A and B are shown apart, each in its own frame.
Chain A
Amino acid sequence: MSVRGFVVLAVVLATAVPAVAIADGRPNAADLESELVCPTCKTTLDQSDSPVAQRMKAFVRARIAAGDSEQQIKDALVDQFGEGVLARPPRGGFGALAWALPLAALGVGAVAVAFLVRAWSRRRVVEAHDEAPLDPRLERLVDEELARFDG
């Protein structure tokens, strides 16, 4: 095979592999079951064996086989059972609060910690400055003791 033929084959293979991956890129049932919640037991479908969870799993598999996308399957389940079936709340609307509140809490916590650390370190500096000078007599005694200890 000539160099040109080899390059052409390489290019064809390089473009074909992603095409095959996309064609086979159907939603994975196991992944979806970990992202959907059983409305009765409030755990993800992969951890639930309740009758409604079993029925939802069958629905997910049937819709995957029918060629539905992940979003279409989720939308269909939300239409039946409400947004509570989504393990991760939607990023828009009221669901955005579920994402924003922990981040806000984290921010407030970081500011509080920074404030406390600053306040504590200031107090130590003040305490260090507030230390009274040693009595000259005691200082001499300490020096004598240290000298004796070193000697």
Chain B
Amino acid sequence: MGYRARLAAQGAAIGLVALLFILLAWSLLHRDGGSLAAAANRGERPTAPDFTLDRIDRDGKLTLSSLRGKVVVVNYWASYCYPCRAEAPFLEDVWRGDRGRDVVVLGVDWQDFRGDARRFMRRYDVSFPVVHDGPGDVGFDYGITGLPETYVIDRQGKVVEAFIGAINTDEDRARLRSAIAKAHTT
């Protein structure tokens, strides 16, 4: 093999390794848990990743962007998540109290059995729409790092504020109400 050919082969090998490294870095950056939440909480208002998922509360599918024009509170939960039980009644209150004011609470049952989720919904009297993200891909798009997490999305589909962990203190609840009010103004 000539010197030039060897040089080209070495260059190609180095290029391939560099490409794999860039792909790895890109993947890590895009799965960086909390990056969307952090951006929202810095006030950057990133666009909420759109999704279409099967509904659990009834037949059919639901697309997030179909709710454009309303304030959407996207709550990631699972039936095996203990803190999710604590916040479910408050989210149900928000749904029942604010649905007439163009606020939608949308549950995303993440990496869970549908049957378990339905039992959870009956037990905790959840009546807001819930979709099923069994593989967890949508949750990964949001960069969720655990359960529960909640994202307040404004009328234009931008994330106004993110809540990591359960909304189970008066301070958290006030913050959520404030985020909903802020989302209404944009």
Contacts and interface: CB of A to CB of B under 8 A. Distances in A.
Interface of A: 39-40, 51-52, 54-55, 59, 80-82, 84, 116, 119-120, 123
Interface in B84-115: 111-114
B113 A40 contact: no
| Contact count band on B | 10 to 19
A80 B134 contact: yes
B22 interface: no
A80 B113 contact: yes
Given A39-B134, A55-B116, A116 B80 contact: no
A65 to B, nearest CB: 17
Most chain B Cβ neighbours within 10 Å, of A52, A59, A119, A123: A52
B28 interface: no
Contacts of A40: 111, 136
Most chain B Cβ neighbours within 10 Å, of A40, A59, A119: A40
B130 interface: no
Given A116-B1, A119-B1, A52 B135 contact: no
Interface in B136-155: 136-137
Contacts, number: 34
A123 B137 CA distance: 53
Contact of A59 (B1, B111, B113): B113
Contacts of B137: 82
Nearest to A79: B134
A55 B136 CA distance: 16
B81 interface: yes
Contact of B80 (A55, A81, A84, A123): A55
Nearest to A76: B113
A84 B78 contact: no
Most chain B Cβ neighbours within 10 Å, of A55, A116, A119: A55
A55 B113 contact: yes
Contacts of A59: 113
Contacts of A120: 1
Given A39-B134, A51-B78, A51-B81, A81 B111 contact: yes
A119 B137 CA distance: 48
A52 B1 contact: no
Most chain A Cβ neighbours within 10 Å, of B80, B111, B135: B111
Given A116-B1, A119-B1, A52 B112 contact: yes
